[in-house]
Amino acid sequence: MNTPISWIKAYVPDLDCSVQEYVDRMTLSGSHVENAVYLDRNLEKIVVGKIVRMEKHPDADKLLVCQVDVGDEITQIVTGAPNVFEGALVPVVLDGGRVAGGHDGSPYPENGIKIKKGKLRGVVSNGMMCSIEEMGSSREMYPEAPENGIYIFDKNKGVKPGDDAVEALGLRDAVVEFEITSNRVDCFSMIGMAREAAATFAKPFYPPEVKTCGDDDDVNRYIAVEIQDEDLCPRFCARVVKNIRLAPSPEWMQRRLAAMGIRPINNIVDITNYVMEEYGQPMHAYDLDTIRGHKIIVKRAQDGDVFTTLDGQERQLDHDVLMINDAEGPVGIAGIMGGENSMVTDSIQTMLFEAANFDGTNVRLSSKRIGMRTDASGKFEKGLDPENALAAINRACQLVEELGAGDVVGGCVDVYPRPAEPVALPFEPDKYNKLLGTDIPADQMLVYFDRLELTYHQDTNMIDIPSFRQDLRCSADLAEEVARFFGYDNIPTRLPQGESTIGKKSLAGRVEELCREVAEKLGFCGSMCYSFESPKVFDKLLIPEDDPLRQAIVIANPLGEDYSIMRTIELNGILTSLATNYNRRNKNVRLYEIGNIYLPKALPLTELPEERKKLALGMYGDGGFFLLKGTLEELFAKLGLEGKVTWEPSGEKSFLHPGRQALIYISGQYAGFIGQVHPQVCANYDMKTDACVAGIDLPLLVSKATFDRKYKGVAKYPAVNRDLSLVMKKNIFVGQVEKMMRDKGGKLLESIQLFDVYEGSQIAPGCKSVAYSLVFRSPERSLEAAEVNKVVDKILVELEKMGIEIRS
């Protein structure tokens, strides 16, 4: 909401503070200022000058040498403007002054343009005469200003040489833009903001005095109104103005509209716009002679109806769009835009004014469906106060009379089937103080309320809530009114008392933290990926057509197909990020992400899906599969899971290399996967490198993790070491061998350490050599060689059974 301070002062004349103070205090009382535009920005040393003599430049055809009376002296100014004449009153910027910009209307420089005296073709010029553009404004706002010329003051305006030209143009003002919250519909009006300003600065507030106007004629002779769809139109007020006399509106009105960025047009249009800004109530003017049957009917459109709005566009309608009709058909879309068929033209004789109240939601949804948002619909969709409609239409008619724009017909057609019930709330000062933690006296609260036109009745202890304050409905609402005028700053600060609570993170939170720590310690960077992705992801990951992973939740209104499904697998984000890094030539990249996947229980969703948190790790460059595996081993060790994890060779994950992947089980339960990314998948992500990924199910990790540790004692007795060098077929996994060794090794086998794997020319084709160091130890005594040999023999027997050759 833009408000020129000058306009606010029209209702709060005692308001006397700097713009900055106004901005600060209004913000602290709840009207947040987005910004303040000073209309006199960069306008310095600009006075009214009168051209007393004018002659041609001796050396330039197009230049004029003027002697200008600037109040205290006559000074010489050279100009190239064609429209000046002797006796003209013009804005003159003096030597050392400043203007907002050039006269060609190009964007204004940050600090304006400094004007210094100089010579033009050898003739001294002590300043510059200004166009309206150089004054930082435009012909849109000052229609009397000439095109390509100096602004010339109306000589009847009472300005004289030496006057402040900025003031004379009404530019000693600032337009303050407020961010109005959706609950304060009343503040989308000049009067509403003035009321807030008056309350904030504790100054008297003088809203416009609206008197009954109109002649002895009767409006009912001209128009009848019928509301068929009351749910969408709670109120409709209509008045008639005859003998319309179109003319420019007076300067004060033009200036105020100009400051709001509204182009003045003529008295009737300007009055409509003016009242819309002043009261926040959109109005519409019809040419009454085009209204067939002298009747207005408010009702819903039919599906498939087409209607031409006054901008000449054809609009498709449906049965939820509310229309204004005359006796024969539609003449306007309610609250959005009038029709071409009833619009006001220069030949208008008799005018019908409409000030109605329409359902905000319906206007919002209709304007969206039709694809047309107007100033009027923007106001209506906030949900206006029906009481305001009558006040606004009467104000408009009063202005018509004041401006002599026509003859107002007596009376008003006011169809208001169910007037709003007045609202009153009990006055509960203790409750307000209890909620705020303050000790504000009840009397003081009533002072604040009075300024806001909330009337207190001592006998009933009730407060009348004015109709324009639709936001005040309970004691907390009134507490807020107290708080904002007492000042949020003045409310004390304390910490909550009462029963103490324990600050903590869940076990899941701790496990997650540990995952981050281990991943980061081992070189993985934390990343963040979107939860929604493209359905094409499944193809990129080579997920089979019938795989349950393809049962993804679809967003009904996504930003686009690429963001349309909720991920069911944690890989795409990390692979996309790896690819981004790869294509930017980053070397040795390791990333991890902790985030949810979304698994529907049934599609379409009838209940919330399962959200499962996953740890995804991805890498390319140094390391590879075993570095990634080692990272997970480190993580599992930190979570107390050492010895409980098995890595099952698998070919089941379509997105992984069939010979380089494993499923991870913790105590026999599936916990995730690890593997080298399938070369085709790498290609699908535009990566010309091998990459490895792992995905771990965090809920399972949480259920298995333990932070309990028991000290086992450091071995006192010596260990016996036995090294075994084995040659086996490549397709035997060392995991099988190790499992067997553990089974047969019994209590005495303390550890198995694989220290070499070799494949190559020294070994038979299709075989690999694997070397182990076995450590035997007893916690109770020194072991005899014979005991150890017995165990080793058992292992050797099993190895032979597995077809494994022992080399030493």
Partner 1 sequence: MKEKLEQIKQRALSSISEAVDMDRLNDVRVAFLGKKGELSRILKGMKDVAPEDRPKVGQMVNEARSRIEAELEKEMAVIQKRMLEEKMKSEVIDVTLPGIRPADGHRHPNQIALDDLERVFIGMGYEVVEGPEIEYDRYNFELLNIPENHPAKDEQDTFYITKDILLRTQTSPVQARVMETGVMPVRIIAPGRVFRSDEVDATHSPSFHQVEGLVVDKGITFADLKGTLEQWAQEFFGPETKVKFRPHHFPFTEPSAEVDVTCFKCGGKGCRMCKGSGWIEILGCGMVHPKVLSDCGIDPEVYSGFAFGIGLERIALLKYEIDDMRLLYENDVRFLKQF
Decide if 16 contacts 183 (C-beta within 8 A).
Answer: no
Main-chain dihedrals φ then ψ at residue 647, nearest 5 degrees = -120, 105
Beta strands of 610-748 (E only): which ranges?
A: 610-620, 645-649, 656-666, 669-677, 692-697, 720-729
Q: Is 449 in the site for partner 1 (CB under 8 A)?
A: no
Candidates 374, 577, 676, 769: give the one binding partner 1 (CB under 8 A): 577
Q: Is 421 in the site for partner 1 (CB under 8 A)?
A: no
- DSSP assignments along 1-37, one per residue: -EEEHHHHHHH-TT----HHHHHHHHHHTT-EEEEEE
Stretch that binds partner 1, among 161-169, 574-582, 650-658, 729-737 (CB under 8 A): 574-582
Using the minimum distance from each CB to partner 1, give the nearer residue, 153 or 432. 432
Candidates 206, 252, 488, 707: give the one binding partner 1 (CB under 8 A): 488
Candidates 158, 345, 346, 495: give the one binding partner 1 (CB under 8 A): 495
Q: Is 520 in the site for partner 1 (CB under 8 A)?
A: yes
Closest approach of partner 1 to the CB of residue 564, in Å: 10
Cα separation, 414 vs 239, in Å, equals 9
Q: Is 788 in the site for partner 1 (CB under 8 A)?
A: no
Q: Is 434 in the site for partner 1 (CB under 8 A)?
A: yes
Using the minimum distance from each CB to partner 1, give the nearer residue, 158 or 496. 496
**Contact flags string 376-395 toward partner 1, x per CB under 8 A:** -----x--------------
Stretch that binds partner 1, among 49-57, 253-261, 501-509, 647-655 (CB under 8 A): 501-509
Q: Is 57 in the site for partner 1 (CB under 8 A)?
A: no
- Site for partner 1, residues 342 to 361, rule: CB under 8 A: 361
> With the C-alpha atoms ordered 385, 389, 394, 396, is the resulting torsion angle positive or negative?
positive
Cα separation, 653 vs 662, in Å, equals 9
Cα separation, 485 vs 18, in Å, equals 20
Q: Is 581 in the site for partner 1 (CB under 8 A)?
A: yes
Q: Is 184 in the site for partner 1 (CB under 8 A)?
A: yes
Return the amino acid letter for 139: R
Stretch that binds partner 1, among 398-406, 484-492, 699-707, 729-737 (CB under 8 A): 484-492
Stretch that binds partner 1, among 63-71, 344-352, 485-493, 749-757 (CB under 8 A): 485-493
Nearest Cα neighbor of 224 from 216, 236, 234 is 236
Candidates 532, 647, 665, 733: give the one binding partner 1 (CB under 8 A): 532
Closest approach of partner 1 to the CB of residue 278, in Å: 23
Candidates 315, 364, 379, 469: give the one binding partner 1 (CB under 8 A): 364
Stretch that binds partner 1, among 21-29, 53-61, 133-141, 679-687 (CB under 8 A): 21-29
**Contact flags string 550-569 toward partner 1, x per CB under 8 A:** ---xxxxxxx---x--x---
Q: Is 204 in the site for partner 1 (CB under 8 A)?
A: no
Q: Is 438 in the site for partner 1 (CB under 8 A)?
A: yes
Stretch that binds partner 1, among 216-224, 281-289, 400-408, 596-604 (CB under 8 A): 596-604
799, two tokens: 């190895």
| C-alpha torsion angle, residues 517, 522, 525, 529 (rounded to 10) | -80
Using the minimum distance from each CB to partner 1, give the nearer residue, 195 or 590. 590
Candidates 18, 345, 458, 497: give the one binding partner 1 (CB under 8 A): 497
Q: Is 580 in the site for partner 1 (CB under 8 A)?
A: yes
Cα separation, 571 vs 616, in Å, equals 7
Nearest Cα neighbor of 198 from 427, 489, 447 is 447
308, two tokens: 């031409």
Q: Is 37 in the site for partner 1 (CB under 8 A)?
A: no
Cα separation, 624 vs 77, in Å, equals 81
Distance of CA 182 to the CA centre of its chain: 14
- DSSP assignments along 82-107, one per residue: TT--TT-EEEEEEEEEEESS-TT-PP
- Site for partner 1, residues 610 to 669, rule: CB under 8 A: 611
Residues contacting residue 133 through CB under 8 Å, at least 6 positions apart = 100, 101, 102, 103, 104, 105
Cα separation, 786 vs 181, in Å, equals 88
Query: For the CA atoms of the chain, what is the radius of gyration?
Result: 41
Candidates 494, 688, 710, 712: give the one binding partner 1 (CB under 8 A): 494
The neighbour count for residue 160, using CB atoms within 10 Å, is 14
Stretch that binds partner 1, among 103-111, 179-187, 283-291, 684-692 (CB under 8 A): 179-187
Closest approach of partner 1 to the CB of residue 620, in Å: 11
Closest approach of partner 1 to the CB of residue 574, in Å: 8
Using the minimum distance from each CB to partner 1, give the nearer residue, 471 or 633. 471
Strand pairing partners for 769?
727, 758
Q: Is 120 in the site for partner 1 (CB under 8 A)?
A: no
Look at the block and give the residue holding tokens 């059974």. Answer: 801
| C-alpha torsion angle, residues 423, 428, 429, 432 (rounded to 10) | -80
Q: Is 18 in the site for partner 1 (CB under 8 A)?
A: no
Cα separation, 617 vs 632, in Å, equals 9
Closest approach of partner 1 to the CB of residue 505, in Å: 5
Q: Is 58 in the site for partner 1 (CB under 8 A)?
A: no
Using the minimum distance from each CB to partner 1, give the nearer residue, 265 or 554. 554
